[in-house]
Structure 1
């Protein structure tokens, strides 16, 4: 099997969509020898900020000398970004081996009438790879919700974290914050330790308090009174936590909350005897990196790439634009999926832009450039649909003292990132 054939075997399963229930992933894992039982996990759910929280925790554990796995989604540039150990993506040869192993088992189950989804397949693959590579810890990001998410097949983790919860995937998770929080609280295990993002709707906090009490789990709400925030720029944020100076490359008030959540999780691990020196906290925070999260691709002109796609992400982008780029002439290249709340996203972001170029990423769920342009015109006077990524970049050309923001979807970020870097960093 070639690498391309391995990817195709995985992608072929996308047609099966999302299927609630853990019975299929349990069957897959059992036939693999239950690799998820041979690893210590930090399990992270939430609507926004999961990726940052996971990355900060994993970066610190790696800096502390632990072999650390990291499982995240979606990817931006390379499918293998979803599976990393100590910051390194799974090698292509090992991905091929894992696909062959899991595909053989999936075929057995399908012969018995089961249908294995793409996310179930790659989650089993991840568990197997992390176990075979003898990871000390794996930071595990929930894919969707929590209760029926394939990652929830694990036993009680070393710690669970819940990032910011807001409205997303309402057709699957429910149309109220209580319903969404209940689904995400499905990761709370008996006797576990759960850390909650410090700024949540009261309904979310109430739901988690109730669920933790019912299951005998300890609930920790990240205490930002332990934190002092220093200088915040587009390059990152300086903070002090219990007197320890730290810097993170992420910017925005929401990133301060994510940092507090990650630090509280690491504190829980310390209380359990995990050796995490202060130096590891400092090194792990300063070296953390995620593509397409307010990522600066160029300084002159300033080109920002942000893949956030829901109202919570739009609010974060709005804050950065207001705080750091007020008064600047900003052009946007924007692409959004049709199943997202595009009008709310536009309401928060589009008024900041002097010009918007809309484009449809190469994805069957993408909102057409024309439809997005019609919606964006409600908030911005200069909106033009583009027929391709290349045309969008050409139409959005900016001068050295101007700003280009590429936003709205990780699918767009994936397609445009290298082309934008090539265009603006020559």
Structure 2
């Protein structure tokens, strides 16, 4: 089986399960010998910030010398990004080999009336690869929710981490932060340790506290006040932690809070025997790489790529733009999925953009570009639908000029589409090109 054939087999499976539950993936993993039981995990759930949290944790553990698996979704660069070891994506031949190995078991279950979803299959492949590769620890990002997410098939992790909880996927997870927090808190296992993002909505925090108490977990909150700020600009954030100077190429006040959540989780790992020196922590923070999270692709003109796709995410984006680009004329390229709260999401960005070019993301749930442009026009903004990502980027750069700024936002799927095109165009326009 080739790599492309493997991708075709994976994408041919159901996108979502017929019914929620962990029974299907448990049956598959049973037949695979339960590779997940040979691994240790840091399990991360949340609405916003869980990707940044996972990237920081993985980078620190790798810097400290541990063979570290990382499982994330969705991907930005390419499919193989979903499973990594020490920052390296799974080799194409390994993905093809594992797919060929596990696919007959998936077909068996399908014939028995237990069809697996795409995400369940990918999760099982990742567990097998991490186990075969002898990972010391795996940083495991929840796909959707927590309680019934395929990643929740693991036993009690080293640490459960819950990033910021807010309204998203309301049709699946519930339409209040309390209901969504209940689903996220489903990753809290009996007798474990839990770390929580420090700025939770009160209702969500109470649900998480109750779950931790019921399952006899020690509960720790991130402490952003322990991070003494030094400076922050478009290139990154500098701070001191327990007297050690640290910097990370992530920007925004929300990333300082995510960093504090990561540091709290690392404290639990240190208690459990992980050798994590201040130098390794600082090194891991400085090396973290996370595309499409306020990612700076160019300084002149300023070109930022961000996957903010729900009200909480666009609120954090708006705060960052006010902080870092207070006097810039900002041009936006934006596309969103129709099942998001688009009205609330763009409401946070009202008044920040001089011009908006809208796109239809490459996703079956995408909102049409003209409809999104109409929403912006309803807020009094100048907005125009573009036909292609290339056209949108070219128009945005022309409108912004060298002294302006371009911000791409609204969807991680859009960010994945636009990123390679934007890099190509920016490089072709560079004086050194």
Is 2:14–2:116's contact at 8 Å kept on the other side of the alignment?
A: no
Question: 1:112 aligned to 2:112?
Answer: yes
Deviation at 1:212, TM superposition (A): 1.1
Which stretch of structure 1 is more off in the superposition, 99-108 or 162-171? 99-108
Superposition pairs of residues 204-215 of structure 1, within 5 angstroms: 204-215=204-215
User: Which position in structure 1 is the counterpart of 2:102?
Assistant: 102
Residue of structure 2 equivalent to 1:324: 324
CA shift, 1:389, in A, is 1.4
- Report the alpha carbon displacement of residue 380 of structure 1 after superposing the two structures with TM: 4.1
In 2, Cα distance between equivalents of 1:411 and 1:14: 19
Equivalences for residues 41-190 of structure 1 within 5 A: 41-190=41-190
* Match status 1:337 vs 2:337: yes
Question: Separation in 1 of the partners of 2:422 and 2:323?
Answer: 24
Instruction: Answer whether contact 1:19 1:117 (CA < 8 A) is retained.
Output: no
- Is contact 1:357-1:385 (8 Å) kept? yes
Do 1:356 and 1:380's aligned partners in 2 also have CA atoms closer than 8 Å?
no
1:92-129 CA-partner distances (Å, limit 9, x unpaired): 00000111122111001111100100110100010000
Equivalent of 2:420 in 401, 405, 418: 418
Q: 1:403 aligns with which of 380, 405, 426?
A: 405
Contact 1:354/1:380 (8 A) holds in 2 = no
Q: Is the 8 A contact 2:328 2:404 kept in 1?
A: yes
Counterparts of 1:52 and 1:45 in 2: how far apart (Å)?
11
Distance 2:208 2:350 in 1: 34
Shift of 1:415: 1.1
CA-to-aligned-CA distance 1:158-180 (integer Å, 9 cap, x gap): 11111000000111111111111
- Higher mean displacement: 72-81 or 215-224: 215-224
Q: CA RMSD, aligned part only?
A: 1.1
User: Within 2, Cα distance between the matches of 1:373 and 1:165?
Assistant: 28
Q: Distance in 1 between matches of 2:417 and 2:360?
A: 11
Q: Which moved more, 1:253-262 or 1:371-380?
A: 371-380
Aligned-partner Cα distance in 1 for 2:147–2:208: 13
CA contact (8 A) 2:358 2:385 kept: yes
Matches of 2:390 and 2:282, distance apart in 1: 40
Deviation at 1:181, TM superposition (A): 0.7
Query: Does 1:255 pair with 2:288?
Result: no
Is 1:359 equivalent to 2:359 in the alignment? Answer: yes
The equivalent residue for 1:394 is: 394
> How big is the shift at 1:344?
1.1
Partners of 1:409 and 1:317 in 2: CA distance: 13
Provide the C-alpha distance between the structure 1 equivalents of 2:322 and 2:14, rounded to a whole number of angstroms.
Answer: 38
Between 1:375-384 and 1:354-363, the stretch displaced more is 375-384
Could you tell me how far apart the structure 1 residues matched to 2:380 and 2:96 are? 47
Distance 1:9 1:351 in 2: 45
**2:330 & 2:97 partners in 1: Cα distance?**
46
Q: 1:20 aligns to what?
A: 20
Instruction: Give the structure 1 partner of residue 264 of structure 2.
Output: 264
1:16·1:115 contact (CA, 8 Å) conserved in 2?
no
Aligned to 2:6: 6
The within-5 A match list for 1:236-385 is 236-385=236-385
Q: Secondary structure at the match of 2:349?
A: helix
Distance 1:415 1:422 in 2: 12
SS of 2:348's equivalent in the other structure is helix
Alignment: residue pair count: 426
- Whether the aligned pair in 2 keeps the contact of 1:24 and 1:116 (CA below 8 Å) is yes
Please list every run of 5 or more consecutive structure 1 residues that lacks an aligned counterpart in the other structure. none
2:431 alignment partner in structure 1: none
- Partner of 2:219, secondary structure, is strand
Once the two structures are TM-superposed, the CA of residue 150 in structure 1 deviates from its matched residue by 0.4
Deviation at 1:13, TM superposition (A): 1.5
Offset of residue 18 of structure 1: 6.9
CA–CA distance in 1 between the matches of 2:250 and 2:388? 30
- Residues 225 and 383 of structure 1: is their aligned pair in 2 closer, same or farther, counting only changes over 3 Å? closer
- Aligned 8 A contact 2:390 2:422 in 1: no
Q: Deviations over 1:25-50 (max 9, x none)?
A: 11111111100000110000000000
Using the TM superposition, name which of 16-25 and 260-269 deviates more.
Answer: 16-25
Alpha carbons of 1:81 and 1:64: their partners in 2 closer, same or farther (altered >3 Å)?
same
Distance 1:407 1:225, change over 3 A: closer
Partners of 1:55 and 1:126 in 2: how far apart?
17
